[in-house]
Structure 1
Amino acid sequence: MYVQIDLDGPAGTLRVSGHGLPVVELVRAPGSPPDAHTPIGSRRRALLTLRVDGVPASIGPARGRLLRRSYRVDARVGGVRYRLMPCGYEHSALSRDGRRIGTLQSSGDGRVVDEWEGAPDPLDLVLGTALAAAFGTGAAPWWETVGDIVGELIP
């Protein structure tokens, strides 16, 4: 299945679609300044609106701090819970209702590389792609991040 990703980080818009696939749209609040570290421009839940085929869905990105899990992104579409969480330097695992269904990679440039545990459901495919494109994937382990911080403090 071909997935079309239209990401405009400065404007705060993302649209993921494809023939026969649901349309996922994620929008940052108009007029809100983008942060430089997140492709969609914000990790603040209050500034983000998620819609799947025009129906509101919930989005809950964590703050993105020291621990890998702090870069997780939760979404709820209907009664289904999704979570995208870093599982390596460049990759993040996508789970649906607590079960891992795929691994995604995106550096925030509007492209996503995916690997699925079997054939993905159309909603899984577009939502996972949207989360990876909007927030990027992967993170360094906490001990490496702490080492970098300490290294910056030592002259």
Structure 2
Amino acid sequence: MSTPSPFSYVAAQDPLFGVVDVELDHEGGTLVVDGEGIARAEVRRAAGTAVESHVPIGTRDPERLSMTVGGAEVPLRPAKGFLTRKSYRVDVGAYRLVPDSLDGSRLLRDGALLGVFSSSGDGRVSVEWKGEPGADDAAFGYALAAAFGTGAEPMWKLTLDALLELWP
């Protein structure tokens, strides 16, 4: 994933839901996803939070993040991210975004695959839908992919990187 730009606005053309607008302010800690065919989703980082450059929204600390979809607050729980792809998952209600390749992540609802998202961390998001996703599924998927990026290195690479960090 690339280092996020301070602010980006991207209009994605979704194959099922039309134009989806993604506004990501890495420095300000805000993300807004909206479109004619989906609910408005917002992710916000708390003021004063130390900003991590490798996370588009700036942090993975659930205590420092909030999320609303369609105006309703939802419980956002990103995992810490360390040695496995699964450790980079993000859970919110019945949804889970979990890396499954170097650049892609699966969106699941109650364990059922809805789509595979790709985002390089700069607000650009693409998706390959599976099954029959609804408008809320799209709102959650775009917001999570844009806020946290997608994909992760394989476990062997993450482990090697961690060991090399310990090497004097």
1:104-155 deviation line (CA, Å, top 9, x unaligned)? 0111000101000134311111110100000011111111222234456668
Please, which of 151, 154, 157 is the counterpart of residue 138 of structure 1? Answer: 151
Deviation of the 1:44 alpha carbon: 0.4
DSSP-derived class of the 2:66 partner = strand
Scaled by the length of structure 1, the TM-score of the pair is 0.91
Quick one: distance in 1 between partners of 2:110 and 2:22? Answer: 25
Name 1:50's counterpart in structure 2: 67
Please, which of 33, 41, 48 is the counterpart of residue 24 of structure 1? Answer: 41
Quick one: distance in 2 between partners of 1:17 and 1:95? Answer: 20
DSSP-derived class of the 2:38 partner = coil
Query: Residues 97 and 106 of structure 2 are in contact (CA less than 8 Å); yes or no, is this contact kept in structure 1?
Result: yes
1:51-101 deviation line (CA, Å, top 9, x unaligned)? 01111111000001111111000001xxxx000000011000000011111
Query: Residues 114 and 132 of structure 2 are in contact (CA less than 8 Å); yes or no, is this contact kept in structure 1?
Result: no
Quick one: distance in 1 between partners of 2:140 and 2:120? Answer: 17
Quick one: distance in 1 between partners of 2:35 and 2:91? Answer: 23
Give unmatched runs, 5+ long, in structure 2: 1-17
DSSP-derived class of the 2:122 partner = coil
Counterpart code for 2:52: D
Name 2:10's counterpart in structure 1: none
State the identity as a percent: 46
Quick one: distance in 2 between partners of 1:47 and 1:150? Answer: 29
Greater fraction of residues in strand: 2
Report the aligned-residue RMSD: 1.5
Name 1:94's counterpart in structure 2: 107
Dislocated runs of 4+, deviation >3 Å = 148-155
DSSP-derived class of the 1:89 partner = coil
- Once the two structures are overlaid, the 10-residue window that deviates more, 85-94 or 144-153, is 144-153
Deviation of the 1:26 alpha carbon: 0.5
Matches within 5 A, 1:2-151: 2-76=19-93, 81-151=94-164
Change (3 A) 1:37 1:114: same
Deviation of the 1:31 alpha carbon: 2.2
Query: How many residues get paired?
Result: 151
Quick one: distance in 1 between partners of 2:31 and 2:122? Answer: 12
Quick one: distance in 2 between partners of 1:105 and 1:135? Answer: 11
Give unmatched runs, 5+ long, in structure 1: none
